Amino acid sequence: MKHLIHHNAATTLMLCMLPLSNAIAEESQLDTIVVSASRTEQRIMDTAASINVINPQQLHDGQAEQNLSESLQRAPGIFALNRQNYTQDLLISSRGFGANSTFGARGIKIFVDGIPGTAADGQGQMSHIDLPSAERMEVMRGPFSALYGNSAGGVINIFTESGKPGAELTPYLSAGSYGQRKFGLKASGEKNDFNYVLDAGSLHTDGSRDHSAADRKNENVKLGFKPAVDTMVTLIANSVNLDAQDPLGLTAAQWQSNPRSAVNVGTANTRKSVDQTQGGVVLNQRIGTEDSVVLSPYYGDRHTVQFLTSPTGNVVNLQRDFYGMNSKWLHSGTVNGVPFKLVTGLDSNQNKDHRLTYTTLTGLTPAAAAIPVQDYAMEARNLDEYLQGELRPTEQLSFAIGARHSETKLSAISNNALKSLGSHTYQATTGMTSVQYYVQEKTNIYLSYGTGFDTPTLNQIIYDTNYVNAGGTNVGNMGIQASRTRQIELGLKSDISSTGQIIFALFDAKTNDDIVIASSNAGKTAYMNAPRTSRKGVELSTQWQLPYQLQANASYTYVDAKVGQDYTELVSKIANTIHSGNRIPGVPKQGIFAELLWRNTDKSLEFAIEGKAAGSIAANDLNVEYASGYGIINLRAIARQNVDSWAISEFVRADNLLDRRYVGSVIVYQASSQFYESAPGRNWLAGVKAAYKF
């Protein structure tokens, strides 16, 4: 097997973890309020689910505020691999779910202010998420995720901040290695039950590799007002405009020769442009003292043009309209004096795609009169109903149970001479149940069990195996089944002393009909169902307050994601047997994040050292290509001043301080063995924010 980046990652891990051995803490985060598990506000301690909250300081202080990978590295069970390629989203997996995606985010539900970032077919997008205006992020894994329906191997909930009393204007600017620069302006405030946040930012980078420059503009608006005492209305709108070059992946030999190179981009000038705008309303109406209703309609459109290296159909022109409405009714009361919560709702989501592909050898946009190779009208829509409840018969004991019925329909109709691919409806009733026991006031254990399902996306039903390998007539792949998963979790949450906390979970998930590669050839990919796969492991997160104004945070993940039964695939027309026990590609077996932070009493100065490490990653399911594990160290420093009505902060950070050479992400299943995407060497970033309070 080929392994890249050989060095002792364990040494880095140990150095990062040493400070924890003397930990004495002063406050806990278990009282943080979350909504992801029960859809009602409750403490993390009171949820029988694995949830981590990434707070405003962790999102913003000394961070680039460019990609979710910056903050998701803190959450155990989550691997967010930065491709250093803005034509592709991060490779995100939750306990191994979503790791084998060759495009976008799949297998994970994404929400921003209650509006889905995951389409009806299960494919998610993240480029529209505006981190400078984000307040917090909730990251949930495990059986409770099943209550979010199709493609819910995990849930990522992002919440935009709300305006505070008065008015504030905040310009921000940062610059760093590889021609990176970002600037923007945020306005926020609140007056007379009306609050607002408006942010507009622009990012440019030359890229850490050849042919990887990118320009991205984000705008985000959140307006909240109360037309009546029991009514809250929130208006949300955001947009993203992206132009990025695609450096593609590298073979092992190419990576060893020059990890910053871009190979085989050729005359196609591989690249991508995206224009997306979406908006929604969240209406929260309280009814009496025990009930409330939430309605969240939304609409958006996304236009993507991507230039690939395929010999035919190498330009994809995709227009997508997406819309829907999620609704829920919440009841909080008692049954015979026993506290009881009930949530029920209806989710309806739809996306309509017009997919055109053209062939060009010049790297230029196809002429308006060009005849498309493909011209498909594609559609995905789902209608889900769910019900979940919680009962706490004693102070020490609580129960939760929930069920969801999901129906997802996919269709693809040809508008030219190609054959229409037909339609298929997927249905499933999934559920979860849990029991939680409070050993003492600040320590509890829980056991959860759930079932889930995951349909193919519209991209995964485009090609059939025979067409990919032999050409001829393409009949599509509507026959592929949805995968079904059963998972169990045992967890512990504890303020183990007055100065520290620990969250621990063991999990085991077994999947039938997992969706995997059936064949890949000449830039085209077909998919199939693998008989059985499994994902099991351990998650640990801990926070401490140390003496001398020091704080320490750490998270650890172990995931054993593997094939449970042999199956056969075809890559470049060569048949390969994928054996039971092979690792699922794209999933590091272990990962760790550790941080030691010093902050003076008036918060005017802050210094931190971060350690991050990950185990090896299988690049393909045959397990003959790997990226080896790595460990890196980052430093950051922040200074803050108050001058009259100005609150000013400056930061500087150095990443990969020891200049390690390693692969940051992989392109799973790549037919030409161009699996590897290089991470940057030593690099720096500096920035300033200046908030003026009116």
**For the chain, how long is the longest CA-to-CA vector?**
74
pTM of the model: 0.92
pLDDT computed for residue 361 by the predictor:
58
Burial grade of 644 (CB within 10 A; 0-12, 13-18, 19 or more): exposed
**Domain residue limits at 326:** 9-693
Q: Model confidence over 108-155: pLDDT tens digits?
A: 999 999 899 999 998 888 889 999 999 999 999 999 998 898 887 899
Per-residue pLDDT at 565 exceeds 50: yes
Per-residue pLDDT at 23 exceeds 60: no
Domain tally, the chain:
1
Mean pLDDT for the stretch of residues 174-202: 97
In a domain, 3, yes or no: no
Tracing tokens 């495990």 back to the chain, one arrives at 142
Q: How many H-runs (helices) and E-runs (strands) does the chain carry? A: 5, 39
Nearest in space to 28 (alpha carbons), one of 543, 592, 596? 543
CA distance 382 to 425: 9
Phi, psi (deg, nearest 5) at residue 424:
-155, 140
Q: Is residue 468 within 8 Å of 526, Cβ to Cβ?
A: yes
Q: Is residue 110 within 8 Å of 124, Cβ to Cβ?
A: yes
Judged by average pLDDT, the poorest of 237-241, 507-511, 669-673 is 669-673
User: What DSSP character marks residue 8?
Assistant: -
Per-residue pLDDT at 505 exceeds 70: yes
Q: Model confidence over 610-645: pLDDT tens digits?
A: 999 999 999 998 999 999 999 999 999 999 999 999
CA distance 638 to 651: 4
Q: Which residues pair with 335 in a beta bridge?
A: 338
In a domain, 546, yes or no: yes
In a domain, 70, yes or no: yes
pLDDT computed for residue 131 by the predictor:
95
In a domain, 241, yes or no: yes
- Three-class SS state of 466: helix
Per-residue pLDDT at 537 exceeds 80: yes
Q: State the average pLDDT for the chain.
A: 90
pLDDT computed for residue 101 by the predictor:
74
Mean pLDDT for the stretch of residues 564-583: 91
Mean pLDDT for the stretch of residues 360-365: 59
Q: Is residue 482 within 8 Å of 455, Cβ to Cβ?
A: yes
Q: Model confidence over 197-232: pLDDT tens digits?
A: 999 999 999 999 999 999 999 999 999 999 999 999
CA distance 433 to 436: 10
Q: Model confidence over 240-268: pLDDT tens digits?
A: 999 999 999 999 999 999 999 998 776 66
In a domain, 423, yes or no: yes
Q: In what helix (H) or strand (E) does residue 570 lie, and over which residues does it extend? A: strand 567-571
Q: Model confidence over 332-346: pLDDT tens digits?
A: 998 888 999 999 999
**Beta strands per DSSP E along 206-314:** 214-228, 231-245, 271-287, 291-307
Residue 161 CA neighbour count, 13 Å, CB half: 23
Sign of dihedral through CA atoms 110, 114, 117, 120? positive
Higher-confidence position of 17 and 621: 621
CA distance 417 to 121: 25
Judged by average pLDDT, the poorest of 11-25, 351-365, 502-516 is 11-25
pLDDT computed for residue 312 by the predictor:
77
Per-residue pLDDT at 522 exceeds 60: yes
Model confidence band, residue 24 (pLDDT cutoffs 50, 70, 90): very low
In a domain, 2, yes or no: no
Q: Which residues pair with 541 in a beta bridge?
A: 503, 555
The CATH number covering residue 359 comes to 2.40.170.20
In a domain, 4, yes or no: no
In a domain, 686, yes or no: yes
pLDDT computed for residue 14 by the predictor:
40
